[in-house]
A = this chain, B = another copy of it.
Amino acid sequence: MPVSIKDIAKEANVSPSTVSRALNGHPRISAETKTYVQDLARDMGYVPSVVARTLVAGRSTAIGVAISDVLDLFYIGLMSSIEDAIINTDYQVFVSSFYRDQVRELALANTFHERRFAGIIVGGSLVDETYLTLPSRSFMPVVLVNCFTYPFSVAVNQSLGAYKAIEHLIKLGHRRIAYVAQGLNSSAESQRLNSYRTVLNEHHIPLDEALIVKGDGGISGGMKAVSQLLDLPQLPTAIFCFNDMTAIGVINALREKSYEVPRDISVVGFDDLEISAYYQPALTTVRQPIYRIGKSAVNMLLRLIGGDNDVVPEIIDPELVIRRSTAPITN
């Protein structure tokens, strides 16, 4: 068992409250007993119990971060930026993931609730507005990232991102543009897919549903998607991918079949991960400014925790980063 205030009190022949005062720099205490108790506490290896402190205070300094998938580097960047933003506050961050599973996501929210966390940030939620109905809502604020159906959120404008990507391809002369989806019921997914449909429509390009295939947000999903696309009677000349890892998978699978990017087929990603600039070919992609997102999410959460409910969703316009994986159509 850890050393408690009582143990120190007994050893020092004072009352527990005196120990508490000495340790918390309370004004009304003699300098003598103060240093004596402090030294003793140190020597006994005392570390205060935040558990007990939380119980009596009725509030916690723990902030939870729930991310959909640890293997998705976008969420890793989010995690990193959140930790960065919170390091200078009085709060501590604890991260867990729910592996793209609705049930696990809610279980995780419940875990945070059970532990009475001060608030949580969720990246890649699959249950969205459900958070509004949770009983924890009143005392454990929830901020979502990249979700548009929720009032407390920081989001990159997914529609605009997809729009910019597809427009870019169209300007390069492409008309047969495939979309490799993530295969999840996320807010980002539906926004991008809708935008894909809209832009094609605006440009009077007939929609071919066969060009919409499912990936899994990772390399292998991108590779499988390509094998589906290559079975088509008429190949696409460009592929818009849900994210950069998917794009890397796509490019690899194409290379295996001796299609070269961008000579034969153009590929656009989403996220702008660090690796994307250093991949061969360097990826054309839609940048999600993850650092800014994390900072804003933390900001918003801290305001909500402080009782300021007067926040508005923050929408960030993404930027298209043009590199070497896209080129004008040749044939």
Q: Which residues does A use to contact B, with CB under 8 Å? A: 1-3, 44-52, 54-55, 58, 60, 62, 70-71, 76, 79-80, 83, 92-97, 99, 110-111, 113-116, 135-136, 139, 218-219, 248-249, 252, 274-275, 278-280
Contact = CB atoms under 8 A, between A and B. Distances in A.
Contacts of A139: 1-2
A137 to B, nearest CB: 9
B92 A93 contact: no
Say whether chain A's binding surface is mostly helix, strand, loop, or mixed.
mixed
B83 A111 contact: no
Given A83-B70, A252-B278, A2 B136 contact: yes
Contacts of A52: 55
A252 B324 CA distance: 14
A71 B47 CA distance: 31
Contacts of A136: 2, 47
B58 A55 contact: no
Contact of A95 (B96, B218, B275, B279): B96
A224 B179 CA distance: 37
A54 to B, nearest CB: 5
Contact of A97 (B70, B83, B280): B83
Contacts of A58: 1
Nearest to A279: B279
A115 B83 contact: no
Given A44-B135, A45-B135, 4 more contacts: A1-B139, A2-B113, A71-B80, A93-B96
A80 to B, nearest CB: 5
A88 B218 CA distance: 25
Contacts of A79: 70
Given A2-B116, A96-B95, A219 B275 contact: yes
A80 B95 CA distance: 11
Contact of A80 (B1, B70, B249): B70
A92 B96 contact: yes
A65 to B, nearest CB: 9
Contacts of A99: 83
Contact of A249 (B54, B278, B279): B278
A115 B219 contact: no
Contacts of A3: 135
22 contacts: A1-B139, A2-B116, A2-B139, A46-B135, A47-B110, A47-B114, A51-B54, A51-B116, A52-B55, A55-B55, A70-B76, A70-B79, A70-B80, A71-B80, A80-B97, A83-B99, A92-B111, A95-B95, A219-B274, A248-B278, A279-B279, A279-B280
A94 B97 CA distance: 9
A1 B50 CA distance: 18
A262 to B, nearest CB: 14
A2 B112 CA distance: 13
A50 B114 contact: yes
A55 B80 CA distance: 31
Contacts of A116: 2, 49-51
A329 to B, nearest CB: 24
